[in-house]
Amino acid sequence: MLALSNVSKRFGGVVATDAVTLEVAPGEVHALIGPNGAGKTTLIGQISGSLGTDAGTIRFENTDITAWRPHERVRLGLARSYQVTSIFKRFSVMENLALAVQARSGSSFSFWRPVASETALFEEARNISREIGLAERLEAIAGNLAHGEQRALEVGLALATRPKLVLLDEPMAGMGPEESQRMIALIGRVRASVTVLLVEHDMDAVFRLADRISVLVNGRVLATGRPEEIRADPNVRRAYLGDELAA
Amino acid sequence: MRKVFLVILLLLAFPVAMQWLGYLFYVSFASRVLIYAIAATSLNLVLGYGGMLSFGHAAFVGAGAYVSSILVAEGVASAWIGWPAAVAAAALLAWIIGAISLRTRGVYFIMITLAFAQMMFYLVNSMKAYGGDEGLTLPRRAELGLGVDLGNEVAFYYTVLAILLAGLYALHRLAHSRFGRVVVAIRENEARAQAIGIPVYRYQLVCFVIAGAAGGIAGALLASHGKYVNPNVLHWIQSGTLMIMVILGGVGHLWGGVIGAAVLLGLEHLIADHPIPWLAQIAPNYQQHANLGVGIVLLLIVLFAPQGIARLLERKRNARP
């Protein structure tokens, strides 16, 4: 579904991603793990188009999207969420979700008709709010939500564009155990209809959710495989997982 | 809602009251305020709703003023030709300036819009055929036909008021439309707007062009009002004045431009035409420095009511962080 081939990105002299080759199969939850600074977020940026790609190609459903702009990739069904929460803080939850639904449902060059009259937008926004567990918070201003709720909305914005593949960049960042459980349950529900590329440090979540795992170290893919293979891989243990699993 | 009707009623009754009191001069002054209200409101669309810090809005007002004036000077007096031509010219100019400027962000955007406006300023300065730096005096105001004589101050006032109210209603509709939502969303979080699939550049450009076009009609009215236009209408100080009006009145507020124009021009007029004896004793020529008074008011607003006068007047609804 998503195929990266020799994708690289340099920031000045620093190599952030180095000839990354990676394939995400339709329907799977593919986790991307690795130590801090391994280039995971850079790679998400390159796949979503907010960062350029110096070398290599990115293909999505057999279309070469390497040079596409971010909004064009979203139209194709490739959406992302951010590690640092990026929502419309002064909009209500409903307005946030309805906007994302609107962005997908045709042109917004409509200058006269009140958007409030488009019940279909809000109906769909309500459905998504149920999916992400914010149905009771529709009228709340996003900036006033609790951290866990903001993280849920962050993922909800990506889902509201009805993607085929969603890139989740550390959805559990800064969450307590209870909130993390809720997020794991959410991703568990989402996976039924959407392919997921998940960047996450929470190994409990990764090993519970992932069908396959790729390990990124120093911008390179060290290994890709099923969770038990990754857990057993001596290279991975040495480079990254050793500390995590020993702890 | 009731407040809005009250304001409209007052605006409608104003010329009648002034005529009755014998202060017809104020009707012409009020027309000027309303024209600036249109210009400031059009800037508020890009600046307030769109979050684009355009420092060259006078270019569009000026384009409208000059195009309509040149048409009158060349014998095309009909407002039905001159005003749409002013709007079209301003829109075209906004499209060109916007298409280039909107590829930049932040300080660069401010500077490049300023630079374009100054280029227009020097361009009209060099148009010797149309007065150059001396400006262009018009034999008469544009002609509206329909039995309306725009030379009459009251008729002119009502024409300007009709255009302002139509513009405000259009802005109100636009702000609540799909387009308005998208433009505000880009202001709030551009990266996220892009990440949910919004082609940011395209929407910002259309917003910029609409605002420029609306600035063009203000320019045409301004030239007609004074029967005179000179390059200062495009000077960067003019852009700054419009910006101050928007900030005073309320950035991103429907009535921000109207309130800002009324307060700023009202204040200037008050300081210049109504000497305060005790102040004149201390500082004999203080009235020539009306801008100092305006500056102090602006400072107070920015410090104590950063959201502008419009929101001060509103009852506090559910506050947004």
Contact B195/A80, CB-based, under 8 Å?
yes
Q: Is B148 in CB contact (< 8 Å) with chain A? A: no
Cα distance between residue A219 and residue B277, in whole Å: 76
The answer to whether B181 touches A145, Cβ cutoff 8 Å, is: no
Question: The dihedral of CA B39, B43, B45, B48: what is its sign?
Answer: negative
Question: Does the beta-carbon distance from B320 to A79 stay under 8 Å?
Answer: no
Tokens of residue A108, six digits: 């917004």
| A183-222 per-position pLDDT tens digit | 999 999 999 999 999 999 989 899 999 999 999 999 999 9
- CA A191, CA A179: separation in Å to the nearest integer? 18
Q: B210 falls in which pLDDT band (50, 70, 90)?
A: very high
What are the distances in angstroms from CA A191 to CA A29, A139, B119?
7, 27, 56
- Is pLDDT of B214 > 80? yes
- Paired strand residues for A181: none
Contact residues, chain A, for B173 at CB < 8 Å: 111-112, 114
pLDDT number for residue A246: 45
Q: Do B179 and A108 touch (CB under 8 A)?
A: yes
3-state SS of chain A?
CEEEEEEEEEECCEEEEEEEEEEECCCCEEEEECCCCCCHHHHHHHHHCCCCCCEEEEEECCEECCCCCHHHHHHHCEEEECCCCCCCCCCEHHHHHHHHHHHHCCCCCCCCCEHHHCHHHHHHHHHHHHHCCCHHHCCCEHHHCCHHHHHHHHHHHHHHCCCCEEEEECCCCCCCHHHHHHHHHHHHHHCCCCEEEEECCCHHHHHHHCCEEEEEECCEEEEEECHHHHHHCHHHHHHHHHHHHHC
Residue type, B90: A
Residues 6+ apart with CB under 8 A from A52: A9, A46
For the range B10-16, what are the long-range contacts, defined as Cβ-Cβ under 8 Å and sequence gap of 24 or more? B11/B161, B12/B161, B14/B157, B15/B153, B15/B154, B15/B157, B15/B158
Mean pLDDT of chain B, nearest integer:
90
Contact B103/A at CB under 8 A = no
**Could you tell me which of B158, B140, B139 has the C-alpha nearest to residue B13?**
B158
* CA–CA dist B166, A104 (Å, integer): 31
What b/e readout covers B252-261, taking b as 16+ CB neighbours within 10 angstroms? bbbbbbbbbb
Mean of pLDDT values over B43-49: 96
Residue A5's φ and ψ, nearest 5 degrees, are: -135, 115
Q: Considering only CB atoms, which chain B residues are within 8 Å of A79?
A: 195-197
ipTM associated with this complex: 0.90
Residue among B43, B74, B101 at smallest CA distance from B258:
B43
Inspect the interface and report whether the beta carbons of A71 and B318 lie closer than 8 Å.
no
As assigned by CATH, the class of the A2-246 domain is alpha beta
Output the pTM of the full model.
0.91
Q: What is the pLDDT of residue B319?
A: 47
At B178-195, the pLDDT tens digits run 999 999 999 999 999 999
Contact present, A1 and A48 (Cβ < 8 Å): no
Bridge partner residues of A64 (DSSP):
A59
* Residue B250 backbone class (left: φ over 0; alpha: ψ -120 to 50; beta: rest): left
pLDDT, tens digit, 9 for 90 and up, residues B244-273:
999 999 999 999 999 999 999 998 888 877
What average pLDDT does range B10-22 have in this prediction?
89
Cβ(A24)–Cβ(A165) below 8 Å: yes
User: Which chain B residue's Cα is nearest to A109?
Assistant: B179
3-state secondary structure of B229: strand
Name the residue among B181, B191, B196 with its Cβ closest to that of A161. Answer: B196
Distance CA A91, CA B28 (A): 42
Residues 260-319 of B with CB under 8 A from A: 318
Q: What is the pLDDT of residue B318?
A: 44
Q: Is A84 on the interface with B (CB under 8 A)?
A: no
Instruction: Please state whether beta strands A212-217 and A29-33 pair in parallel, antiparallel, or not at all (unpaired).
Output: parallel
Lowest mean pLDDT among A91-95, B133-137, B185-189, B285-289: B285-289
8 Å CB contact of A104 and B196: yes
Q: What is the largest CA-CA distance in chain B?
A: 64
What does the alpha-carbon distance between residue A72 and residue B175 come to, in Å, rounded to a whole number? 25
Which residue among A87, A141, A143 sits closest to B192, beta carbon to beta carbon?
A: A87
> Residue B296 has what pLDDT?
85
What is the interface size between A and B, counted as CB pairs within 8 Å? 105
- Residue found under tokens 């990764």: A206
Q: Answer yes or no: are the C-beta atoms of A142 and A92 closer than 8 Å.
A: yes
**Neighboring chain A residues of B200 at a CB cutoff of 8 Å:** 71
Q: How many residues does the structure list for chain A? A: 247
What CA–CA distance (Å, rounded) separates B93 from B67? 12
With CB atoms and an 8 Å threshold, state whether B178 touches A103. no
Mean pLDDT by 10 residues, chain A (247 residues): 95 92 96 92 96 95 95 95 95 96 88 89 95 95 95 96 96 90 93 95 92 94 94 85 55
The CATH-assigned architecture of domain B2-313 is Orthogonal Bundle (1.10)
Measured between alpha carbons, how far is B308 from A65 in angstroms, rounded to an integer? 45
* Minimal C-alpha gap between B321 and chain A (Å): 6
Cβ distance A75 to B197 less than 8 Å, yes or no, reads yes
User: What's the rounded Cα separation, in Å, for the pair B39 and B41?
Assistant: 5
Give residue limits of the domains in chain A. Answer: 2-246
Cross-chain residue pair A112–B188, CB shorter than 8 Å: no
Among the ranges given (B105-109, B254-258, B290-294), the one the predictor scored with the smallest mean pLDDT: B290-294
Interface touch B185/A116, C-beta < 8 Å:
no
